[in-house]
Amino acid sequence: MSKNLSELSGRKGLRENLFEELGIAATETGAVTKENAEKLAEEFLMGTANVYGAASFYDFTRPENQGKKVYVCNGSSCMTAGTQAKVREKLNGVFAEGEIGEMCCLGRCHENSSFHFEGHNYSGSDIDKVADIKDGTVLPVDKYNVASVGTAVLTCEFPGIDSFYKTLDKALKSTPDALLAELKTSGLRGRGGAGFPISFKLESCKNTEGNTKFIVCNADEGDPGAYSDRYLLEERPHAVLLGMIIAGFIAGANTGVVYIRGEYPEAIDITQQAIDDIRAKGFIGENILGSGFSFDFKVIRAQGAYICGEETALLSSIEGQRPEVRVRPPYPTQHGLFNKPTVVNNVETLACIPWILDNGGAAFAAIGIGKSTGTKLVSLDGFFNRPGIYEVDMGTPLRVVTDELGGGFRSGVKAMHIGGPLGGLVPVDKIDALTVDFESFAQAGFLLGHASVVCLPSDYKVVEYVKHLFQFTAHESCGKCFPCRLGSTRGAEMVEKAMTSDYKMDRELFTDLITTMEIGSLCALGGGLPLPIRNALQYFDGELKEYFKN
C-alpha cells in the first residue's frame, strides 16, 4: 500500500472516484483498455502501471472478461449441488461460447443453478427460460424462507421509514459517549467472521484526530454459501443505513461508504433507492434534524474480488489501487480510506446498532451466551428442505437450525462447510456437539464466520473439495505475500497431481505447506484456508489416505 497513492486518490475523494471510473471504462467491452488506463492515470496523477495493475486484477475489468455477456456462478454451493453443467449447456444454446463467463457466488445458494445476465441474477428453474430471459421478457423472482428462533433483531417487520428513524432522533439527542457506552454494554462483535467488538473500532476512531473520517460498510459478501448480507441490503436496508449514521455520529464521521459486491446488482439498486428515500425525508444531509450533525452516503459497486472482503484490501480498492492487503499497524481507525480515520464493519454488524439503541445494550447482551451476545443470521443452501435465512439467538443448538428451521437434508449429506471457504468443514455427526456461537465453534476446531452453510453430499469426493479450496484461494489471492500466493497454487497442483496420476503426496510436506500459509500469510485468506483442510484430513482420512504416501 502506498500512502502517496492514497493521498493522490483522495484529491478528488469520493466525488470523482478512480475505482468507479475503472468500472465505467469497462462497461462497454467488459475490460479496461490500455487507452482508458493511460487517460485515467493522467487524470488522477497515477502511474499507468498502477492503474492497469488495479484494472487487470478484478474479474469484471480484466482483459479476460472482454466480450462476456452472461455469467455462470462457480461458487461452492452451486458446485457441490452439481447444477452448473446443465446451466452452461442451456446457455450454450442461446449464447456463443466466448460470451459466457463466470462469477463467484451470486448469493442464490438457496436454489442453485445460478447465472447472471444484464444486471440481474437468476437461479432455480430460470435456466429453463433462458431464451425468454435473453429477449427481456422474463425478469427474476427471488424467494426464500426467512424465520427466526428467539429474538427477531434483524428479521422483525419493518415499521416504515418515519417510525424506524425515530431512533435517529433519539440518538442525536444523546451524546457519542453515551451511545458508545451502550454498544460496549451490548458486547456486539463483528458478524463478518472475525468477531471483533465494534465498540473498540468506534472508540479508536473517535479518539483519533481528524477533520475527515469515514464509516465503511463492507458489503463485499464473497463467502460462497452466504447470502445474509444480501438479505439485509435488499429486505432491511434501513437497518444498515441507520446503523452507519449512528456509527458516524459516535466516531465523528460525516461520510458513509457502502461497498457492495458487483455480483449483487439488485442489492446495489435497492440500497441506493433507500438512501434517496431518507435524503428526501431529511434523515441524511446537512444538519440532520437540527442536531448540527451532517452525514451522507456513497454507494460503490465492487468489481469482483473476494479479497476485498478484507478491510484493508477494500480500502485500497476504493482508492483505485490494486486491492492488496495492508500491513498493520497502522490500523484503519488511524490511517484508513485516503489515510483518514476509518471504521470498517460488516453489514450484519451495523444493522444490529438500531435495535441496541432502541432496546438498550443490556437487552442485547442478555440474548446469546457468554461473549457471543445477540443473534446471528444463518444461510442454509439448497440441500435443506427449507433453505433460507434464519435468525437465531447466539448459543442455539446447531441441530435446531438444521432440523427444525432447515427441515433436515433433502438428500444424503456427509459434511457442512460452515463460515465460508475459510470456515470449518463440519462432519454431520458433529452437529449435536455445536451451538451457534463463536466459542462453541472455536473450541471444537471450527469457525462460525459468516454462518453460511455449504453442504457436501454423500457422494461428493472430499479430495475434490480440498482441490477447490486451494484453487479458490489461488484465484482470489491479492498476491502480496508469498505464503498465500505460492502456497495455494502449490497445494492445488499437489492435489491435482495426486488425483490424476500415481503420484502420492508426502504428509509432512503437505502439513508444512498449510502451516506456512497459516502462520505466514498477511490476512485470513491464506491464513484461514488451512482450517478446513485440516478438518478434512482429521475427519475424512479414510477418503484422503489413498492420495498420500504411507
- CATH code, 526: 1.20.1440.230
Claim to verify: residue 15 and residue 77 sit in the same structural domain: no
* 117-121, 157-161, 256-260, 533-537: least confident range: 117-121
Evaluate if residue 93 carries a pLDDT over 60.
yes
Claim to verify: residue 18 and residue 136 sit in the same structural domain: no
Determine contact, residues 481/522, Cβ cutoff 8 Å. Answer: yes
Claim to verify: residue 416 and residue 445 sit in the same structural domain: yes
Claim to verify: residue 172 and residue 123 sit in the same structural domain: no
Claim to verify: residue 30 and residue 58 sit in the same structural domain: yes
Claim to verify: residue 203 and residue 346 sit in the same structural domain: yes
Give the C-alpha separation, 108 to 85, whole Å: 16
Cis peptide bond prior to 421, omega within 30° of 0: no
> Which of 457, 490, 516 represents a domain boundary (last residue)?
457
pLDDT tier at 1 (50, 70, 90 boundaries)?
very low
CA distances from 157 to 115, 168, 236, 239 (A): 30, 18, 9, 11
Per-residue pLDDT of 315-374, as tens digits, reads 999 999 999 999 889 999 999 999 999 999 999 999 999 999 999 999 999 999 999 999
- CATH code, 123: 3.40.30.10
Claim to verify: residue 34 and residue 93 sit in the same structural domain: no
- CATH code, 167: 3.40.50.11540
Stronger pLDDT, 509 or 12, i.e. the higher one: 509
Cell numbers 489461488: residue: 474
Structural domain count of the chain: 5
> Which of 425, 457, 489 represents a domain boundary (last residue)?
457
Claim to verify: residue 320 and residue 466 sit in the same structural domain: no
Claim to verify: residue 195 and residue 126 sit in the same structural domain: no
- CATH code, 385: 3.10.20.600
Compute and round to an integer the Cα radius of gyration of the chain.
Answer: 23
Stronger pLDDT, 501 or 138, i.e. the higher one: 501
- CATH code, 14: 1.10.10
Claim to verify: residue 472 and residue 396 sit in the same structural domain: no
Q: Give the pLDDT of residue 140.
A: 83
Closest by CA to 228, choosing from 332, 402, 336, 105, is 105
Claim to verify: residue 399 and residue 528 sit in the same structural domain: no
| Mean pLDDT (the chain, rounded) | 94
- What's the average model confidence in pLDDT over 56-78? 91
Per-residue pLDDT of 254-297, as tens digits, reads 999 999 999 999 999 999 999 999 999 999 999 999 999 999 99
Q: Give the pLDDT of residue 2.
A: 67
Give the C-alpha separation, 44 to 9, whole Å: 7
The pLDDT > 70 percentage for the chain reads 100
CA distances from 386 to 156, 246, 304, 398, 406 (A): 19, 35, 29, 15, 5
Domain containing 128 equals: 70-143
Q: Give the pLDDT of residue 29.
A: 79
> Which of 49, 65, 81 represents a domain boundary (last residue)?
65
Claim to verify: residue 131 and residue 163 sit in the same structural domain: no
